[in-house]
Amino acid sequence: MAESSVEKVHCLIIGSGPAGYTAAIYAARANMKPVLYQGIQPGGQLTITTEVENYPGYPDGIQGPEMMVHFEKQAARMGADIRFGLATKVDFSKQPYRVEIDEEKWIEADAVIISTGASAKWLGLESEQRLNGFGVSACAVCDGFFFRGKEVAIVGAGDTAAEEALYLSKLCSTVHMFIRRDQMRASKVMQDRVQNTSNIKIYWNTDTEEILGEHKTEAVRIKNNKTGEEQTIAISGFFVAIGHQPNSDIFKGWIDMDEAGYIKTVPGSSKTNIEGIFAAGDVQDKIYRQAVTAAGSGCMAALDTERYLSAKGLV
């Protein structure tokens, strides 16, 4: 690889959800001349949601994709260099750090902010993707409000599924909870809470066969995987809570992660185990996973990066 094909930048941001764009806004204002690569899903998970009502500053709510256009425009207006492209490989063995884009071009960066997000795990049904945003959701906290007083279903058996079922039970008339096995994976205390909530109806040994509805979610067809019995339940919302997958694969072997692949950061900061490499947003947050917390951590990452580059005399 010819050295001339390597581009050098001060601050490289990988990923373009609320964390990446907020980091870009702060980094650009601090004259760090950030370069941001948007990744495979420019705008992140919010581009596959519909109405966002819980982000401050939008009193009438806003469509997720439109909100991410606002984020991008603001970052660009501040001077961030926003590019389409996917980080495909990294070499963090020495400074400046190297990141490969689209398997063809290398970038050298004095500091890197990783904001590659996480992707919801799905069941793999055609109807699930077709009705995503039309009654199908992977975030009860984001979308539960739209189903106030209605019947909904949730699939999942871990702590997140239990928490989301309990959250929905406060808003919805009935929560039908589908569990594939004859027991839950959730902690005992969460299981007890779910089972003691009168409007959560648990279906054991249950697989989701199909979500029904032409233009919006109207019902779900389930099957007992022990007896083979099928039934159809009328619902307005269907929530998938079988986990998230952090988009961190290319950093494995370099950056410290937990067993699920979430990047570990020093508590109260965005610092990783490698000096000059920072992480923000859902790639390092498996607890809150909200647009506003991702944006907040993007701000933290940019401020941490500024202090780092300043101490090195690079900005």
Q: How many helices (H) and strands (E) does the chain have?
A: 7, 19
Among residues 59, 75, 60, 66, the alpha carbon closest in space to that of 20 is found at 75
Assess whether 11 carries a catalytic annotation: no
Among residues 118, 164, 166, the alpha carbon closest in space to that of 143 is found at 164
Residue 181 contacts residue 158 (beta carbons within 8 Å)? no
Other C-beta atoms within 10 Å of 145: how many? Answer: 13
Assess whether 172 carries a catalytic annotation: no
Catalytic residue among 110, 143, 285, 304: 143
Residue 213 contacts residue 136 (beta carbons within 8 Å)? no
Residue 262 contacts residue 284 (beta carbons within 8 Å)? yes
Catalytic residue among 81, 139, 159, 207: 139
Alpha-carbon span 148 to 174, nearest angstrom: 10
Residue where the block lists tokens 């991702």:
294
Through-space distance between the first and last CA atoms of the chain, rounded to whole angstroms: 28
Residue 168 contacts residue 154 (beta carbons within 8 Å)? yes
Helix residue spans in 138-229 (DSSP H): 140-143, 159-169, 188-195
Assess whether 299 carries a catalytic annotation: no
Catalytic residue among 142, 282, 285, 304: 142
Sign of CA dihedral 162, 166, 168, 172: positive
Which residues are tagged catalytic? 139, 142-143
